[in-house]
Amino acid sequence: DLEYFNPTMVGGVGLFRTEFAYMERSGFPTLEEQRLVYKEIVDHFEGKPVVFRTLDVGNDKRLRYFDMPPEQNPALGWRGIRMGLEWQDLFLIQVQAIVAAHDEGEVRILLPMVTVVEELREAKALMKKALGSDAERVLVGAMIEVPAAAMALKDLAQEADFVSVGTNDLTQYLFAVDRDNTRVSSLYQPYHPANLRVLRFIAKTCRQFDCPVSVCGEMAGQRAGALFLVGSGYQALSMGVGFVPEIKALLAQTTLKDLVALSRKAAGCRTREEAVSLLREAAAAAWEGVLAN
């Protein structure tokens, strides 16, 4: 409900999950139906950037009216941009609707589940053809949530206008652990040094290639996560709006120099427990500062 989103409190919208606009319906929304939904968001945020992620169904996200072909491993299957590049009509209707929702200015479109650079190239070529001169105002971003994309980031960062790290899926794929399976959930460890090192690598590579980078997974809205990510060099954090005041207040109690050192130290730990206790301690100290003010 847009009522709860005070546009003056935030720098914009880091991740608009468009699948929710699809889930509420009984059939695929038309271009015009989509345009109206997206326009409401764009107008509400009064010119601040809104990042629209193209449809990311498959795996845990289902559409009632669309029978996905059964798959043995849906998390490793037909989802995100893989589907978009095969069902190009659906993909392009959505892209056109997102562009049409902006009367003026830049348009930010984020592609989910990018695995190899060819997918980004193909998506950009399709958009260029479908959008004509409007393509010039579109910034195309790649989500980094597949380990192969993280490791080949050097190539992606040079062709994407921005990247956004999806830590929810990145952790799932890095640890080979289903993020919704309680049986193995103890191995789902966003704060394990292995994950922390990958996150630092991503930030460093983006800086090297001058590619704007943000984080849009749940970690960004967690106290320990926010401290670690800012210390690792992330320029923007995207989180549920309810976390924004708390995370802003927390970060105001810290210095970048301290966070840089904290990030390095946490990533150098051997176990999740060591890294967590380090980050938790730092978060508690900063929170003390918030309470004292």
Binding site residues, ligand PEP, CB under 6 A: 15, 17, 56, 145, 166-169, 216-217
Closest distance of CB 101 from Mg ion, Å: 23
**Residues paired with 142 in a beta bridge:** 111, 163
Q: Which is nearer to ligand PEP, 16 or 38 (CB)?
A: 16
Closest distance of CB 226 from ligand PEP, Å: 15
Q: Which is nearer to ligand PEP, 131 or 174 (CB)?
A: 174
Which SS3 state, helix, strand or coil, does residue 132 take? helix
Strands 213-215 and 236-237 turn out to be: parallel
Q: Which is nearer to ligand PEP, 168 or 235 (CB)?
A: 168
Residue 178 binds which entry of ligand PEP, Mg ion, none, CB below 5-8 Å type-dependent? none
Closest distance of CB 216 from Mg ion, Å: 8
* C-beta nearest to ligand PEP: residue: 166
Asked if residue 29 binds Mg ion (CB under 5 A), the reply is no
The one among 29, 141, 166, 193 contacting Mg ion by CB under 5 A: 166
Q: Is 12 exposed, middle or buried (0-12, 13-18, 19+ CB in 10 A)?
A: middle
User: What residues contact 220, with CB distance under 8 A and at least 6 apart?
Assistant: 167, 226, 229, 234, 237, 238, 239, 247
Residue 235 binds which entry of Mg ion, ligand PEP, none, CB below 5-8 Å type-dependent? none
**Inter-residue contact 21 to 29 (CB < 8 Å):** yes
Using CA atoms, how far residue 226 sits from 17, 74, 171, 284, in Å, is 21, 30, 16, 13
Contact pattern for Mg ion over residues 115 through 154, marking x by CB under 5 A: ------------------------------x---------
Residue closest to 127 by CA, chosen among 108, 153, 154, 114: 108
Residue with tokens 């989509």: 34
Asked if residue 178 binds Mg ion (CB under 5 A), the reply is no
Q: Which is nearer to ligand PEP, 144 or 227 (CB)?
A: 144
Q: Which is nearer to Mg ion, 111 or 230 (CB)?
A: 111
| C-alpha gyration radius of the chain | 19
Measure the CA dihedral 245/246/252/258, to 10°.
-150
**Inter-residue contact 160 to 188 (CB < 8 Å):** no
Q: Which is nearer to ligand PEP, 85 or 130 (CB)?
A: 85
Asked if residue 190 binds Mg ion (CB under 5 A), the reply is no
* C-beta nearest to Mg ion: residue: 169
Binding positions for Mg ion, rule: CB under 5 A: 145, 166, 169
